Amino acid sequence: MVDDEALLFLREAPEETVLVYAARGPHGPIQLPAAVVGTDLAGLAGTPDMQADAAGMITLASAEPTFGLWRLAASGKQN
């Protein structure tokens, strides 16, 4: 996913999948279904862990430039 202010992609390797998120400025919510990325994302490199909400969505939003990395659980990884 790419828009004017944010970039979001999955970096896949044989052993793991990492969600990469970068925002250069404020943007509206980006919602990802937990069915695709999993319900519990483990933060990497100082990024806080995230959990899906009651509706089964992971939501990313930012009011400033930010960067985040999350390791997807094995069950959230698409094959």
> Rounded to an integer, what distance in angstroms lies between the CA atom of residue 63 and that of residue 73?
27
> Rounded to an integer, what distance in angstroms lies between the CA atom of residue 38 and that of residue 25?
26
> Rounded to an integer, what distance in angstroms lies between the CA atom of residue 7 and that of residue 18?
14
The pLDDT value given to residue 78: 45
The pLDDT value given to residue 12: 93
The pLDDT value given to residue 61: 87
Opening angle at CA 12, ends 49 and 16, nearest 5: 55
**pLDDT, tens digit only, all 79 positions of the chain:** 667 889 999 999 999 999 999 999 999 999 999 999 999 999 999 999 999 999 999 999 889 999 999 999 875 444 4
User: What ranges do the domains of the chain cover?
Assistant: 6-76
Whether residue 6 contacts residue 27, with contact meaning beta carbons closer than 8 Å, is answered with yes
Domain 6-76 belongs to what topology? Immunoglobulin-like (2.60.40)
The pLDDT value given to residue 58: 95
